[in-house]
Amino acid sequence: MNRQIRTEIFTRFRAANPHPTTELEYDNTFQLLIAVILSAQATDVSVNIATRRFFPTHGSPEGIVELGLNGLTECIKSIGLYKTKAKNVLRTCEILLEFYDGVVPDSREALEALPGVGRKTANVVLNTAFGQPAMAVDTHIFRVSNRTGIAKGKNVREVEDRLIRVIPKEFILDAHHWLILHGRYVCVARKPKCPECGIADLCEFKEKTTLAQTK
């Protein structure tokens, strides 16, 4: 796929959704960090249900420490890996209070040093909260990038690095959201909704499918 086609793809994404954002619910950078930690192997919908139980009253590092491990565990027990996530979130809050005055750091190194924060989580926070050109590649983005031909790679890191290189700079800050939403609702895993897709004529997957049908 060449630069001209990639530019047209993201131009269409922007026209259809000029101000994309995460579907996780949060009021500040700290809550975004916690929500993303909780979202590992869980849907945004399930995380939102869980955080509604404690964000309104304990949605700060101090609040979660006050809530305690048992209280937090009870609030998030409806999502996967909740016991481990509760421990990680509580320890993260303690570290933020001890070393950062309760403020979420804006560097990758500091974020990835927090319990429960891997590269993908750090990328979401760096991009969404701090406006840095980071690309959090989840299963949706990995699938869309390879299937469409936007950025092919054998693993998540290869796709991430290639997306950062090939996406035109004017689109880079919003590209994560456009790609994940496209993968979540249109370019789905089993039966992609090609007839409903706004970039179908530019997609290498559709091209291969069409060629196969003509043989």
Catalytic residues: 120, 138
CA dihedral 182, 132, 9, 214 (to 10 degrees): -60
What is the C-alpha to C-alpha distance for residues 75 and 67, in angstroms, rounded to an integer?
10
Q: How far is residue 117's CA from residue 122's CA, in Å, rounded to a whole number?
A: 6
Residue by residue, DSSP assigns the chain as: --HHHHHHHHHHHHHH-SS---SS--SSHHHHHHHHHHTTTS-HHHHHHHHTTTHHHH-SHHHHHHHHHHHHHHHHTTSTTHHHHHHHHHHHHHHHHHHHTTPPP-SHHHHHTSTT--HHHHHHHHHHTT--------HHHHHHHHHHSSS--SSHHHHHHHHHHHS-GGGHHHHHHHHHHHHHHTS-SSS--GGG-TTGGG-HHHHHHHHHHH-
